[in-house]
Chain A
Amino acid sequence: MTNALLTIHELKVHYETSGGLFSAGSLPVRAVDGVSLELKRGELLALVGESGCGKSTIARTLVGLTEPTAGDIIYAGQNVGNFSPQERQNFRRSVQMVFQDPFDSLNPRKTVFSTIAQPLRIHKIVPRAELKAEVIRLLNAVGLSPAEAYLGRYPHQFSGGQRQRICIARAIASRPKIIIADEAVSALDVSIRAQILTLFRKLTQELDLASIFITHDLSVVRSLCESVAVMYLGQVVERGPTERVFTRPQHPYTRALLQASPIADPDVARSRRGFLLEGDVPSPANPPAGCRFHTRCPIAQPKCASEPPALRSIEGVEAACHFPEGWRQTEKVSRAEEAVQ
């Protein structure tokens, strides 16, 4: 825990649903239910998991758009909950967010210049006289050059990939230490996605930025992020170095996610078919008892329905499963059968 830039400790975010005081059964949505994570300086951490598992809620909590219900956020060794207003403002400046949709997150009536100059002005990053030079520097940094030609343009005059670059330029304008990218490449074509991923990799290295990269696309994670946390229904079920998690997943949900991710190779793809999770993701307002995954888990045992498994170290990763070797054994059996045939 020593060299962590940001630590999330036992974070809970529950949304009260407006069922009214007397309406029975309006349980709070336990969007994030006891999540602990660590982000090191200059690290690219992926946060993956299915829709509704709480990824965006964590992001929104980190940038102060949502209040935590319980738990702590520790930044550079200090608890954010105890910050003075001044310290809080510094923290806000240090953690910036890039959203999925570059169409929604840019004001259509503002030029590129005023969009990017705004955080520079608010946080007084550079003297007024250097504003323009700084905006140009930022546009060049995200690969929009010649930047001078872009300053007076409006968002609709840019492509999706260019707009996403403008959003990134705005995010790095306040010289943050952490960028949270929430599905920042999901809406983009593969070729444009490649530009943005290249940019992320470059900025991480050159500016020593740490990033939390939220996505459900495991192929992006494999190539971009050094570590990964897998969430299911408001909790982290597995985390560790990406290579470890992808090559030797310990949690059956991680394994199911990996196997459900299509591979663009006809020979590999055809041999991999036939591992399917049944059923839908349960409601986070009323998560299953015991292991939250037990209702869909192919290797669940009676214990899984009653006792929640805790995260523990297994084979170089941390996973929350009572029977992490379970699927390995079923696999050994089927391999043996195959060998016999």
Chain B
Amino acid sequence: MTDVLRIDDLTMHLETELGTVRAVENLSLRVDEGEAVALVGESGCGKSMTALSIMRLLPPYARFRSGSIRVAGKDLVTAPERAMRQIRGGTIGMIFQDPLTFLNPLRQVGEQIAEAVRLHTGAGRVEADAQALEALRRVRIADAENVVHNYPHQLSGGMRQRVLIAIAVACRPSLLICDEPTTALDVTIQAQIMELIDNLRHELGTAVLLITHDLGLVAQYCSRVYVMYAGQVVEDAGVREIFQHPRHPYTQALLQSSLRPDRVSEDFAVIDGQPPQLLAPPPGCRFHPRCPRVFDPCPSAMPGLDRAGEGRAMVRCHLEEAHQ
């Protein structure tokens, strides 16, 4: 399998007035052709900052401190802005939680899709309009001939998200980054959108990086999972391995506190303590102040990301070292 995205040892800091926010630290992540990979973790752990690093859509005070992001033979950390404009919306499509912030309220949706097509494929006006219509049909918008002339506010939330997906896939990207694509939507609409993304993956071979905190979506749509905690990947494994044999204590706690509609949980498992502050993350293992299995080395030494046996998960935890 060839990878469409390969992040190695990426560190990205936000130099704010209050100090350095360690949003992404020593993060490595790979997405292969046609694969659906999940990035999960609690609010504020750095998922969106990872996605925005790939797209280089970061605030001006963001700084790459180490590592590389390789896409189509280029390192996006150092690529010139001109090259990034081709990557964004060309090689990599992205959809966000709130489609309205990325749609122009004053322009018809058909025009907005056609513009993306012209920019990235060099197609002429007529050809681009035709592709825009085709893209709307592909995301199963009924009555696409009329919807091309609609403005974003005339569409429902689910339809807007489809328009954003249509824009994202119109140029046949090799990777689609979806940052909480359905959090603002109802469950039945969420199911429609997720099926749509999954079908596009099968039909067009687009790889998907799904950022979410919904473990149900992960179980349903992804084959591999990266679990983030406080700016770092703490575990990375196949989806069954993560759900059936989670190894990192944070992954275990996360799974225990998730609820299921098909099962009654007698106790609601709580992860004690506060989520960490990325302005001043705890020393040693970042999970140690909340970890039920904390032991000697945890408060002082940062565990490495180790492979838990041949062909197994990568886990950032001293317990793994102790086992070996």
Query: Which residues does A use to contact B, with CB under 8 Å?
Result: 50-51, 159, 189-191, 193-195, 197-198, 201, 216-223, 243, 246, 256-270, 272-273, 276-281
Contact = CB atoms under 8 A, between A and B. Distances in A.
B220 interface: yes
B186 interface: yes
A203 B218 CA distance: 33
Q: Interface size for chain B: under 10, 10 to 19, 20 to 34, or 35 or more residues?
A: 35 or more
Ranked nearest first, the 8 interchain pairs of A and B with the lowest CB-CB distance are A262-B216, A191-B271, A219-B259, A264-B215, A194-B268, A269-B220, A260-B191, A50-B186
B260 A198 contact: no
B23 to A, nearest CB: 17
B265 interface: yes
B214 interface: yes
Nearest to A188: B43
Interface string B211-229: 0011111111000000000
Nearest to A196: B268
B275 A264 contact: no
A263 B186 contact: no
A162 to B, nearest CB: 9
B274 interface: yes
A50 B190 CA distance: 11
Contacts of A258: 261
B260 A222 contact: yes
Interface of B: 42-43, 142, 156-159, 186-192, 195, 213-220, 239-240, 243, 253-255, 257-271, 274-275
Contact of B243 (A195, A264, A272, A273): A264
7 contacts: A194-B269, A223-B266, A258-B261, A262-B220, A266-B220, A276-B188, A279-B142
Contacts of A256: 188
Given A222-B262, A246-B261, A265-B219, A257 B270 contact: no
Given A263-B262, A266-B239, A50 B187 contact: yes
Nearest to A191: B271
A218 B261 contact: yes
A279 B111 CA distance: 24
A265 B158 CA distance: 26
B56 to A, nearest CB: 28
Contact of B43 (A51, A189, A265, A273): A189
Contacts of B265: 223
A269 B262 CA distance: 11
Contact of B188 (A50, A189, A223): A50
